Amino acid sequence: MATSLSSKFYFLLLLLVSQILAVAVECRRHDKSGVSPPIFIFGDSFFDSGNNNYINTTTLDQANFWPYGETFFKFPTGRFSDGRHIADFIAEFAKVALVPPFLQLKSENRFNYNAAAGVNFASAGAGALVQTFQGSVIPLKTQLKFFKEVSERLRHQEGKTVSKKTLSRSIYLFAIGTNDYISPFLTNSTSQFESIGTNAYVSFVISNLTSVIKDVYKIGGRKFGFLNLGPLGCLPALRILDPKGKGQCIKQATELAQLHNEVLYEVLQKLEKEMEGFKYSLYDFNSALKLRMDYPLKYGLREGKSACCGTGEFRGVFSCGGKRVVKTFQLCSVPKDYVFWDSLHLTESVYKQMAGEMWSGSTILPSFNLKQLFQSN
Task: Give the active site residues.
Answer: 45, 342, 345
C-beta of residue 129 within 8 angstroms of C-beta of residue 139: yes
Sort 336 into a burial class: Cβ within 10 Å, 0-12 / 13-18 / 19+.
Answer: middle
Helix (H) or strand (E) holding 39: strand 39-43
- Residue from 323, 258, 355 nearest 47 by CA: 355
Q: Nearest-5° angle of CA 115, CA 375, CA 85?
A: 65
Sort 221 into a burial class: Cβ within 10 Å, 0-12 / 13-18 / 19+.
Answer: buried
Q: Nearest-5° angle of CA 101, CA 224, CA 252?
A: 85
| Dihedral sign (CA 230, 236, 240, 242) | positive
SS3 367: coil
Q: How many CB atoms lie within 10 A of CB 375?
A: 15
SS3 280: strand
C-beta of residue 229 within 8 angstroms of C-beta of residue 181: yes
How far apart are the C-alpha atoms of 131 and 205, rounded to whole Å? 11
**Helix spans in the chain (H):** 2-27, 86-93, 102-107, 140-158, 160-169, 178-186, 191-196, 198-219, 236-239, 251-274, 285-294, 348-360, 370-375
Count helices and strands (H / E) in the chain: 13, 9
* Nearby residues of 167 by Cβ (< 8 Å), 6 or more positions away: 151, 154, 219, 220, 221
Helix axes of 285-294 and 348-360: crossing angle, nearest 10 degrees: 130
